[in-house]
Amino acid sequence: MIAEIEADGGNAIALAGDVRSEAYARALVALAVEKFGRLDIAFNNAGTLGEAGPSTDVSEAGWNDAIAINLTCSFLGAKHQIAEMLKHGGGSVIFTSTFVGYSFAFPGVAAYAASKSGLIGLTQALAAEFGPRGVRVNAILPGAVETGMYREMSDTADKQAFMTNLHALKRVARPEELARSVLYLASDDSAFVTSTASLVDGGASITRS
């Protein structure tokens, strides 16, 4: 990925680690500041489907792991990202939530839905707390996106057809389409936008046929 960015004229750096670790969250911010001088934008995009299946069968460990990866790691990231942004008058923090558990529900993914829905509450709380100091906080709520997680959930032609039909556009999103929505929230074009749970769902929230 770094090679692709640099080949396109950009500048990038990476740090491998465990998103569940606060030390890693702290180190990422420190590396960004060391490399680029300051931190203005943070996109917290890590996520997992987690342990799926009937909720009565989901283990406590599976539940906790989904919460840790989908919710706690975003809190830990934002905690250190915002602290750095405040040194320079503000910035933009963005989370990836989902339409699952917000405008649509699937059986068998309670841990995923609950942990991702928690990001909406986190978004609103942080936006209220740090808005007066120039930090905007928003979340995108994608519909189905052509990723490894989508292919894991939709591993048959019938499941793929079902997921496609959920959307008014009758297709799933490409990752770059989500990236454009994130870019909007990261940029000054959205300077008066904060606390939003922004549906980027291809019309899944209104489709009934």
Which position among 24, 102, 112, 184 bears the catalytic label? 112
- C-alpha distances (whole Å) from 153 to each of 27, 149, 195, 200, 207 are 33, 6, 29, 19, 20
* pTM (predicted TM-score): 0.93
CA dist 25 and 44 (Å) reads 10
Q: Which fold has domain 39-200?
A: Rossmann fold (3.40.50)
Contacts of 116 (CB under 8 A, 6+ apart): 47, 70, 71, 97, 98, 100, 101
> Which tokens is 131 given?
């808005």
Give the residue among 48, 177, 158 at the shortest CA–CA distance from 113.
48
Tens-binned pLDDT, residue by residue, of the chain (209 aa): 898 998 999 999 999 999 999 999 999 999 999 999 999 999 999 999 999 999 999 999 999 999 999 999 999 999 999 999 999 999 999 999 999 988 888 899 999 999 999 999 999 999 999 999 999 999 999 999 998 878 887 888 888 898 899 999 999 999 999 999 999 999 999 999 999 999 999 999 998 87
Strands 135-142 and 91-96: parallel
Question: What residues does each domain of the chain span?
Answer: 39-200
Helix axes 22-36, 73-85, angle to 10 degrees: 40
State the CB neighbour count (10 A cutoff) for residue 187. Answer: 11
The phi, psi pair for 145, rounded to 5°, reads -130, 140
Q: Is 112 a catalytic residue?
A: yes
